[in-house]
Amino acid sequence: MSEIYNKFQSDSDTKAFDLQHRKTVSFNIGKYDSAVIKGKMQYQNLAIARRLAALKKHRSIENLENSLKDFEQNFIKRGGKVLWARDAQEANLFILEILKNKGVELVVKSKSMVTEELELDDFLSKQGIECVETDLGEYIVQISGDKPYHIVTPVMHKSAKDIAGIFHEKFGLDPESSPQEITKFVRKTLREKFLHASAGITGANFLISSTGTVALTENEGNGVLSASLPRIHIVVAGIEKVIESIADLHIFWPLLATFGTGQNITAYNTLISGPRQKDEVDGPAEMYVILMDNGRSRLLSQIPQRRALSCIRCGACLNGCPIYRNIGGHSYGSVYSGPIGAVITPHLRSMMHYKHLSYATSLCGKCTEVCPVNIDLHFQLLQNRNFSVENKLSPRIENWGMRVWKMAMLKPRLMNLPGAGMKNFFLKKAFMKSWGKRRDLPVIKPKSFRQMWKDERK
Ligand code: SF4
């Protein structure tokens, strides 16, 4: 078993029995759940909207190569530059080259999961470039040296009191500061950064191929400031973000808002088609879009699993997942956690080292039920397991156990040969570790059903 798997086991074991963690996460998800009920009320027929969104994403993914080329052409026509990055390392080097060439020392950055794949903040700080997170949640993550806990709400694992404690420790604020007081403090600090930064880095919620447009969605206005105030705007986007037309946003924007935060529509939705044009008064002088693969083509090559590329990163499957709620976001040991993380991480990183995530599930199907773009997540988890077995990646002990199990199931007489004591012994040997020390293994009774049936008939 790999180190990554062992860490996952021990971290999840600790978190699952951390009652304070459970209380904080349940409280935060509880607020989300009630907001989503209200958000859904804006729909007359939610099922149709979801089907339409799924269909549109499906079409873009099936036609990915052409859609990306169209995006590139149209974006270049408006004066933007497109760079294709095979992996996170290449994307980092592109960003560094742009920033170094222009002598940039301070960068403002809005929330973006794809830049988490790059570990961009650390990378730039090692190169002597300050990169400031400007989303409130991400800012808290950054100053506390943490990692985001959730795709949408990076500090889901912290209570208001925990956050006040961080600001007291880092900036000497009153430990009883209210969220409003903290927000005011952060706003003032960040305003200075926005005014002095020479470059802004954002992600992209959608890339529109027919117009070469980047669509950004956020609630704090920091994304639009990062994109428009500095001289240079760099967008880092996964290649799967592309959709066909601006008109499709009337389906995606409300769905993302409803399932992401329970809003009817997110507060700021911005469309950016290239750098500032001659007749425009604001916007960056230079704009780059880095289209990053980083394992996505590998996922695309798996026909049953490629549906996972339709994800719009709303976070609903994390909130609904009983496993996520218990083991929390950090235990997954990957940028993407919860059901979608368990599905895509083995493809984006390595099936060999992350396949265990696809086993960390109850397969209850709640993730599939809540996904706004109808990704059959629990089926995808099974697909990953199948892939892992087919490619001989499962541990030898498991293969051996399955062979014995199959033999016994096909020949009931063989199954009845060893006594219950012997069976319990083997059960313990094979499953005790994965079953966990806090649960009792099922015990095989001295008499089998077949024997009991015989006795009964006598
Ligand atoms: S898989 Fe579906 S529910 Fe999960 S984050 Fe993506 S879009 Fe949302």
3-state secondary structure of 23: helix
pLDDT for 141: 97
**Residue-number span of the structural domain to which 101 is assigned:** 42-294
> Which of 113, 261, 312 has the most ligand 1 atoms within 8 A of CB, as the residue to mutate?
312
Same domain as 20, residue 48: no
Cβ of 256 below 6 Å from ligand 1: no
**pTM of the full structure:** 0.92
Same domain as 168, residue 57: yes
Question: Is residue 127 included in any domain, yes or no?
Answer: yes
DSSP for 197-235, please give it. -SEEEE--SEEETTTTEEEEEESSSHHHHHHHSSSEEEE
CATH code (residue 145):
3.40.50.10420
Question: Is residue 401 included in any domain, yes or no?
Answer: no
Determine how β-strand 242-243 pairs with β-strand 268-272.
Answer: unpaired
How many A from CA of 314 to the centre of ligand 1? 5
DSSP for 368-419, please give it. HHH-TT---HHHHHHHHHHHHHHTT-S-HHHHHHHHHHHHHHH-HHHHTSS-
pLDDT for 401: 80
Please answer whether residues 244 and 213 qualify as being in contact, where contact means their C-beta atoms are separated by less than 8 angstroms: no
Cβ of 381 below 6 Å from ligand 1: no
Same domain as 145, residue 77: yes
How many A from CA of 381 to the centre of ligand 1? 14
Per-residue pLDDT of the chain (458 residues; tens, 9 = 90+): 689 999 999 999 999 999 999 999 999 999 999 999 999 999 999 999 999 999 999 999 999 999 999 999 999 999 999 999 999 999 999 999 999 999 999 999 999 999 999 999 999 999 999 999 999 999 999 999 999 999 999 999 999 999 999 999 999 999 999 999 999 999 999 999 999 999 999 999 999 999 999 999 999 999 999 999 999 999 999 999 999 999 999 999 999 999 999 999 999 999 999 999 999 988 999 999 999 999 999 999 999 899 999 999 999 999 999 999 999 999 999 999 999 999 999 999 999 999 999 999 999 999 999 999 999 999 999 999 999 999 999 888 778 888 888 888 888 777 777 788 888 888 888 777 777 778 888 888 888 888 889 899 98
Number of H helices, E strands in the chain: 23, 10
Ligand 1, atom 3, residue with closest C-alpha: 371
Domain total of the chain:
3
**Euclidean distance between CA atoms 371 and 317, whole angstroms:** 6
3-state secondary structure of 252: helix
Question: Is residue 399 included in any domain, yes or no?
Answer: no
How many A from CA of 229 to the centre of ligand 1? 31
User: Would you state the structure tokens that stand for residue 235, as one six-digit string?
Assistant: 């967008």
pLDDT for 1: 62
Same domain as 116, residue 181: yes
Cβ of 313 below 6 Å from ligand 1: yes
Nearest to 17 by CA among 428, 364, 361, 436: 436
